[in-house]
Amino acid sequence: MDVIKYLERIGLHCDDIQAPSYDFLKRLQLAHLYSVPYENLDIISGIPISLDLNNLYDKIVVRQRGGFCFELNCLFDHFLKELGFHTKSYFARFWRDEPGIPIRRHRVIEVSLNEKAYICDVGIGAIAPRIPLLLSEGTVQEYFGESYRFECDANFGWVLYELRHGEWQKYFSFTTEMQTDDDFNAISYYCATHADSKFNKNAIVAIKSETGRKTIDGDQYKEFIGHELVHSEENLSLEREAYILKHTFGIVR
């Protein structure tokens, strides 16, 4: 992995490299979210998803694409390691908008700093924590008008809650068994190919910015300032979709 090219991919430079710290970690996560889109276009096109590190680097850094959680968080995890951070990755259940108990179909990253642990995630297209969250039970953590807190559960381990519509609701949960990169291959394949998967039905592309986020969901395009919808287009033509992908998300296929 060429760390300098990765930094350039997320809008940073070699002069920005610092010793591992929370401020540097936060800057890296925000830069990644503002530069690399969440997208499932390969899945929709029937292109097999590879979690091989070299293939991920080629796709996301060299070819300027995005990916879904197993791709983005895998590469970001190794990028952090190259910069001297101590990391682990865990399987997570993604609870947001799920009617029942979800399967483990998400990857999250734990970063250890000064005897504290933080959870990082650059692999969610929806509203999601933008900064590393301290893994501390009951501590309310706020950023970008959003509030989160962790609680411990006897069955589901660490549960992240978000304050949504005035109520604390489960966002994702994880337990802390050690995982290797290869452990995520089977569930990544399931998410990409299984008939019950949500990831292979409609094109999903999303990127966050300092002021909001932009998304494609199927044939709809939306722009948000904060959490307010300010622009929407429906029934996108193939030509209009290709234009938005190139000029808004930096994706050329």
CB-count exposure of residue 155 (10 Å: 0-12, 13-18, 19+): exposed
For residue 227, being part of any structural domain is answered with: no
3-state secondary structure of 39: strand
Range of the domain at 154: 3-199
Distance CA 253, CA 245 (A): 9
Number of domains in the chain: 1
Q: How far is CA 50 from CA 74, 92, 137, 141, 196, in A?
A: 11, 20, 35, 34, 20
Distance CA 156, CA 170 (A): 11
Structure tokens at 184: 């995520």
Catalytic residue among 69, 74, 120, 191: 69
Per-residue pLDDT tens listing for the chain (253 residues): 999 999 999 999 999 999 999 999 999 999 999 999 999 999 999 999 999 999 999 999 999 999 999 999 999 999 999 999 999 999 999 999 999 999 999 999 999 999 999 999 999 999 999 999 999 999 999 999 999 999 999 999 999 999 999 999 999 999 999 899 999 999 999 999 999 999 999 999 999 999 999 999 999 999 999 999 999 999 999 999 999 999 999 998 7
In this prediction, residue 39 carries a pLDDT of: 98
Catalytic residue among 32, 77, 121, 191: 121
Look up 106 and say whether it is catalytic. yes
For residue 71, being part of any structural domain is answered with: yes
**Nearest CA among 35, 30, 80 for reference residue 60:** 35
In this prediction, residue 218 carries a pLDDT of: 95
For residue 91, being part of any structural domain is answered with: yes
For residue 36, being part of any structural domain is answered with: yes
For residue 248, being part of any structural domain is answered with: no
In this prediction, residue 253 carries a pLDDT of: 79
In this prediction, residue 60 carries a pLDDT of: 98
pTM of the model: 0.95
Look up 86 and say whether it is catalytic. no
One-letter amino acid for residue 177 of the chain? E
In this prediction, residue 172 carries a pLDDT of: 98
User: 11: domain CATH number?
Assistant: 3.30.2140.20
Distance CA 218, CA 170 (A): 26
For residue 142, being part of any structural domain is answered with: yes
The H-or-E segment that residue 220 falls in is: strand 220-225
Catalytic residue among 42, 74, 106, 120: 106
Distance CA 102, CA 195 (A): 16
Residue 183 DSSP class: G
**Nearest CA among 37, 35, 32, 14 for reference residue 109:** 32
Residues in the chain, total: 253
For residue 249, being part of any structural domain is answered with: no
Look up 69 and say whether it is catalytic. yes
Contact 149, 168 (CB under 8 A): yes
In this prediction, residue 95 carries a pLDDT of: 96
For residue 176, being part of any structural domain is answered with: yes
Counting runs of H as helices and runs of E as strands, what totals does the chain give? 7, 13
